[in-house]
Amino acid sequence: MKFLNIKDSALSFFRIAVGGLLIIHHLAIILDFDVLFGFNALIPNEINNLFLESFIFNLSKLYNLCFTWLTHHQFLLLFHTVYLISLTGITVGILKNFFSLIALILHFLMMKNNGFFSYGVDYFSSIALFIIFIFPCNSHMSLDLKLGIKRMSLVTEKYFLPFLQVFLSILYFFSGFDKLLGYNWRNGEAIWKTINLPSANTYISSNLEWLSVYQLIPLLLGWSVVVLEMLYFIINFTALRKFFLSAIIVLHLSIALLLELYFFSSLMIIFNIAAYHNFKTYSK
Amino acid sequence: MRKIFSIFILSAICLLYILVNIRSTYKGYFGFYHEKESDSLLAQNGIYQNITKLILFPPVNVFLGITGLESGSGFFAPNVASSYVVRQNLTKTGYINSYLINTPRVSQKESTIRIRTGFSMFKDYLAEQDDTLKILKCDVFLKRLSDNNAKGFDCNEVTSNVYLFHKPLLSEVRQGKSESKYFLIRTKQYDFKR
């Protein structure tokens, strides 16, 4: 029995988990795609393009440039097909460099077709696809490996974990620091406001009204989020790793349950697990 | 050689991400604490201006856009943004019954989350003059949302109201206020001839 080392397992886990999640995420909007990012978007392409820099490309510009021989419906069908095939290619690890580049570009074109309906998950999806593109995420547990396809990458695999760890430390530090600047995060109001957003899960939020009686709790929760995020880099000390990893996963699970941002939370949990989970006990 | 190249590329990405976040922190801070003079204060800020110049340089801008690094990570910061609610009354000409809805009529839940993300643009109704492009964008969005919802209920007449939502703050709850308030900021009536 051969054991994979930590970075090989982390690379494979990251590729498979991100690819799988993005397939589900795309299927989760596919029925409404036309009113979200298509040619009948609730914010028309022409108006969206007025808010884009002229050199930024998107789906509607691509269509007008070279796909006018297709109907809008055929073009979107082609887009969905190529995008989902690319994500599947990433997940199973075949022609990883090619498919990750295609998925990265198509995701960008889709998001720029209506940036007003984008949120955190979209930015982190692009970041994840970019990471898959530049690192040799197909070096293990992939069809590329089984079929003997040459596995090249822009950067070497030994920097995968250090990069992901530094990146997450920067991300969470600024996330916490920006919150610290807002007085509402320091007096508990931000937590109270978040729980009571109209878009929040009404079942949970309506059962948290009692927090207004025990106002010390939202105050402590607010500070906990700020401190956890700002000091996230301490996760790099092995002794505290389990605590910080568990805490940040609990934070993202709370976001998923309260704000119903399931995809965003899942993606952030994947980033954290890939960066800090100890995979060394799993065998090939 | 490859090792040096890898370190260079990854360091450049991290540095760019730090710069994007610093810019976003400045923008968020001035936007929250100095809302009215935010633009002029940012224009005088050397660090912000230099980072902005770099980020808006077309090749860098495209790179940041494609890689998703263009957005800072200060979600819900420095303040949880105000929320907007759209309520629509849908009727069909000649019929008495009407539908009152406050969620976009779409097939999948994730689509609702995305459209509600778009509702944040309605802050422009409070901040902008009526003849700006931003207001035009809000008007068109509201009209198309109304049309989409009306189609879903086989209606043609729609009254769309956009509200600013206010849940009493903890400090207000202490003073005995508990009722959520909806401040009407825009109302539009449409008749979609079908």
User: For the residues A268-281, what does the mean pLDDT come to?
Assistant: 89
Q: Which two tokens stand for residue B48?
A: 């912000």
Element (H, E) at B88: strand B83-91
Predicted confidence band of residue A86 (pLDDT cuts 50, 70, 90): very high
Q: What proportion of chain B, given as a percentage, has pLDDT over 70?
A: 100
Chain B within 8 Å of A123 (Cβ-Cβ)?
A: yes
Residues A133-147 have pLDDT tens digits of 999 988 888 888 888
Instruction: Output B194 or B18, whichever has higher pLDDT.
Output: B18
User: For the residues B79-94, what does the mean pLDDT come to?
Assistant: 89
Mutation target among A111, A116, A167, A195 for the B interface, most CBs of B within 10 A = A116
Please tell me the predicted confidence (pLDDT) of residue A208. 87
Q: What proportion of chain A, given as a percentage, has pLDDT over 90?
A: 76
Q: What is the CA radius of gyration of chain B?
A: 22
Return the closest-CA partner of residue A82 out of A54, A51, A105: A105
Please tell me the predicted confidence (pLDDT) of residue A140. 83
User: For the residues B64-70, what does the mean pLDDT come to?
Assistant: 94
Lowest mean per-residue pLDDT among A121-135, A139-153, B161-175 = A139-153
User: For the residues A48-69, what does the mean pLDDT come to?
Assistant: 92
Does the pLDDT at position A115 exceed 70?
yes
Cβ of A32 within 8 Å of Cβ of B108? The answer is: yes
Does the pLDDT at position A4 exceed 60?
no
Does pTM surpass 0.80?
yes
Residues A6-58 have pLDDT tens digits of 667 899 999 999 999 999 999 999 999 999 999 999 999 999 999 998 889 99
Cβ of A43 within 8 Å of Cβ of B118? The answer is: yes
Cβ of A175 within 8 Å of Cβ of B170? The answer is: no
Chain B within 8 Å of A157 (Cβ-Cβ)?
A: no
Cα A224 to Cα A274: distance, rounded to the nearest angstrom: 24
Please tell me the predicted confidence (pLDDT) of residue A269. 97
Nearest to B3 among A42, A104, A156 (CB): A156
DSSP class of A210: G
Cβ of A112 within 8 Å of Cβ of B148? The answer is: no
Cα A41 to Cα A45: distance, rounded to the nearest angstrom: 7
Cis peptide before B78 (omega within 30 of 0): yes
Residues A167-196 have pLDDT tens digits of 999 999 999 999 999 999 999 999 999 998
Chain B within 8 Å of A179 (Cβ-Cβ)?
A: yes
Write the single-letter amino acid at B15: L
Does the pLDDT at position A1 exceed 50?
no
Who's near B169: CB < 8 A, 6+ residues apart?
Answer: A189, A192, A193
Instruction: Output A95 or A139, whichever has higher pLDDT.
Output: A95
DSSP symbols for A95-149:
SHHHHHHHHHHHHHHHHHH-GGG--HHHHHHHHHHHHHHHTTTTSSSSHHHHHT-
ipTM comes to 0.92
Residues B112-158 have pLDDT tens digits of 999 999 999 999 999 877 778 999 999 999 999 999 999 988 899 99
Cβ of A188 within 8 Å of Cβ of B79? The answer is: no
Mean pLDDT of chain B: 91
Min Cα separation A239/chain B (Å)? 26
Min Cα separation B93/chain A (Å)? 24
Please tell me the predicted confidence (pLDDT) of residue A7. 65
Mutation target among A35, A50, A118 for the B interface, most CBs of B within 10 A = A35
User: For the residues A75-95, what does the mean pLDDT come to?
Assistant: 97
Predicted confidence band of residue A3 (pLDDT cuts 50, 70, 90): very low
Nearest CA in chain A to B182: A198
Mean pLDDT of chain A: 91
User: For the residues A208-229, what does the mean pLDDT come to?
Assistant: 93
Who's near B69: CB < 8 A, 6+ residues apart?
Answer: A123, A126, A127, B13, B16, B17, B20, B63
**Contact residues, chain B, for A197 at CB < 8 Å:** 80, 83
